[in-house]
Amino acid sequence: MNELTGKNFMVIGGSSGIGLALVHILHRDGGAVYEASRTEAPDFADADVKHLPFDITGDDFSALSQFAPETLHGLVYCPGTITLRPFTRLTEKDFMNDFRLNVLGAVHTIQALIPSLKRGAPSSVVLFSTVATRVGMNFHASVASAKSAVEGLVKSLAAEYARTAIRFNVVAPSITETPLAAQLLNTQQKTERSAKRHPLERIGKPEDMAKAARFLVGQDAGWVTGQVLQVDGGLSSLSLL
């Protein structure tokens, strides 16, 4: 029997990229997976993953409560943005859009699902940040601001819910081969240049981030809460001279 057999997991934004990789890993390891996103991955029916068509920016979050199982052992919120432009060209709308998707979407999702997470405790919530909250990067003012708020949110909730045995953690990737980052990696030259910025000299893969999230929702991370796990090829902490 796999470790996750008999346990329920919700993945928000699991139809592509990191979220899709995580859905497959959780299902492989025996978990019952519930996924909510605007589009359904074509192989979900074969994997017996329950899917809810859901737009995090506009739909009624009570639909998540109704869709979720009575007990929930893990929640992973995957939606994100990469809004990169010079600071003077960023508008208030840009900042608000990034904040709405990355922070308020997570807030409303957690609020909707906290009763199920309490009934499933010990349980775990994982959100995603970015290496740009740790390392200053050109043109990242909007997304870095939003993701910094994500990290603050997680640390606060980790403290608030510690005694109810709900853990909250963050995975903070560097650039990863996902549809969201496609424009940043659409030529071999761009990909090679980006890879060389990282001490491990490669771009992140969705599975790298998904496996980190899988660790954080599993029993092996049972004493880990309020943490930001940097999965960034060493970019945030190493300097190779």
Q: What homologous superfamily does CATH list for 8-177+207-231? A: NAD(P)-binding Rossmann-like Domain (3.40.50.720)
Where do the structural domains in the chain lie, given as residue ranges? 8-177+207-231
pLDDT in tens, 95-134: 999 999 999 999 999 999 999 999 999 999 999 999 999 9
| Residue 241, pLDDT above cutoff 90 | no
| Cα–Cα distance, 209 to 199 (Å, whole number) | 17
Task: List the structure tokens of 90.
Answer: 């960023």
Q: Is the pLDDT of residue 7 over 80?
A: yes
Half-sphere exposure of 233 (CA within 13 A, CB side): 17
- Per-residue pLDDT tens digits for 28-39: 999 999 999 998
State the pTM of this model: 0.95
Q: Which residues of 16-38 are buried (b: 16+ CB within 10 A; e: fewer)?
A: bbbbbbbbbbbbebebbbbbbbe
Q: Is the pLDDT of residue 45 over 70?
A: no
- Mean pLDDT in residue range 72-97: 96
Whether residue 182 is predicted with pLDDT greater than 90 in this model: the reply is: no
The number of beta carbons lying within 10 Å of the beta carbon of residue 192 is 12
